[in-house]
Amino acid sequence: MINPLANKDIAIIGYGEVKNVRRSGRTTYDVAAEATSNVLEYTGLGTKDIDGMATVLPSSEAGNNFWSNYLGDHLGLQTSWTQTTDIGGASMPGNVARAAAAIQSGYCETVLSIAAATPTTRRADDQRSYRSEFRNPTGIQGPPGAFGLIMHRYMHQYDLKFEALGKLAVAQRNGAVVNEYAVEGLRKPMTVDDYLNARMVSTPLRLLDSVMPCDGANAIIITTTERAKKLGVKNMAHPIAYSELTNFNVHEQLPDITETGFSIAGPHALGKAGMSPDDIDMFHPYDDFLIAEMLQLEQIGFCGRGEGSEYLLSTDISPTGKLPINTGGGQISAGQPGLAGGQMNIIEALRQLFNEATDRQVPNPSTAMCTGIGVIPYVRNWGSSAVLILERG
3-class DSSP assignment, residue 232:
coil
Chain-centroid distance of CA 159 in Å reads 27
Q: Indicate which single residue of 41, 73, 126, 133 sits in contact with other proteins (rule: CB under 8 A).
A: 133
Interface region with other proteins, contact rule CB under 8 A, candidates 71-79, 131-139, 181-189, 285-293: 131-139
Q: Indicate which single residue of 140, 177, 178, 275 sits in contact with other proteins (rule: CB under 8 A).
A: 140
3-class DSSP assignment, residue 213:
strand
Please answer whether residues 90 and 32 qualify as being in contact, where contact means their C-beta atoms are separated by less than 8 angstroms. Answer: no
- Nearest approach in angstroms of CB 377 to other proteins is 10
CB atoms within 10 A of CB 247: 13
Binding of other proteins at residue 123 (CB under 8 A)? Answer: no
Closest CA to 177 of 188, 193, 166, 190: 188
Interface region with other proteins, contact rule CB under 8 A, candidates 3-11, 77-85, 150-158, 181-189: 150-158
Closest CA to 294 of 311, 272, 275: 311
- Nearest approach in angstroms of CB 380 to other proteins is 8
- Nearest approach in angstroms of CB 131 to other proteins is 10
Interface region with other proteins, contact rule CB under 8 A, candidates 53-61, 75-83, 101-109, 203-211: 203-211
Instruction: Tell me whether residue 65 or residue 129 sits nearer to other proteins (CB atom).
Output: 129
- Nearest approach in angstroms of CB 308 to other proteins is 18
Interface region with other proteins, contact rule CB under 8 A, candidates 29-37, 246-254, 264-272, 350-358: 246-254
- Nearest approach in angstroms of CB 330 to other proteins is 22
Q: Indicate which single residue of 2, 106, 232, 254 sits in contact with other proteins (rule: CB under 8 A).
A: 254
- Nearest approach in angstroms of CB 126 to other proteins is 12
User: CA-CA distance, 38 to 33, in Å (whole number)?
Assistant: 9
Strand bridging mode 367-374 / 10-17 = unpaired
Binding of other proteins at residue 43 (CB under 8 A)? Answer: no
Instruction: Tell me whether residue 1 or residue 250 sits nearer to other proteins (CB atom).
Output: 250
Residue 16 is classified by DSSP as E
CB atoms within 10 A of CB 299: 22
Of residues 294 through 323, those in contact with other proteins by CB under 8 A are none
Binding of other proteins at residue 149 (CB under 8 A)? Answer: yes
3-class DSSP assignment, residue 374:
strand
Binding of other proteins at residue 130 (CB under 8 A)? Answer: yes
Q: Indicate which single residue of 250, 274, 276, 358 sits in contact with other proteins (rule: CB under 8 A).
A: 250
Alpha carbon separation from 284 to 93, 172, 348 (Å, rounded): 11, 11, 8
- Nearest approach in angstroms of CB 210 to other proteins is 10
CB atoms within 10 A of CB 6: 14
DSSP string, 133-184: IIIGGGT--HHHHHHHHHHHHHHHHS---HHHHHHHHHHHHHHHHT-TTS-G
In sequence order, what are the beta bridge partners of 289?
Answer: 210
Alpha carbon separation from 383 to 141, 300, 338, 378, 380 (Å, rounded): 18, 16, 17, 10, 8
Q: Indicate which single residue of 145, 175, 324, 383 sits in contact with other proteins (rule: CB under 8 A).
A: 145
Strand bridging mode 283-284 / 81-85 = unpaired
User: CA-CA distance, 2 to 87, in Å (whole number)?
Assistant: 23
Alpha carbon separation from 50 to 112, 157, 267, 292, 380 (Å, rounded): 7, 50, 34, 35, 40
Q: Indicate which single residue of 105, 132, 197, 366 sits in contact with other proteins (rule: CB under 8 A).
A: 132
Binding of other proteins at residue 212 (CB under 8 A)? Answer: no
- Nearest approach in angstroms of CB 383 to other proteins is 14
Of residues 163 through 202, those in contact with other proteins by CB under 8 A are 199-202
Binding mask of the shown chain, residues 49 to 78, with x at each position contacting other proteins by CB under 8 A:
------------------------------
Binding of other proteins at residue 153 (CB under 8 A)? Answer: yes
Binding of other proteins at residue 232 (CB under 8 A)? Answer: no
- Nearest approach in angstroms of CB 135 to other proteins is 8
Binding of other proteins at residue 2 (CB under 8 A)? Answer: no
| Contact residues: other proteins, CB under 8 A | 130, 132-142, 144-145, 148-153, 156, 199-205, 250-251, 253-254, 257, 378-379
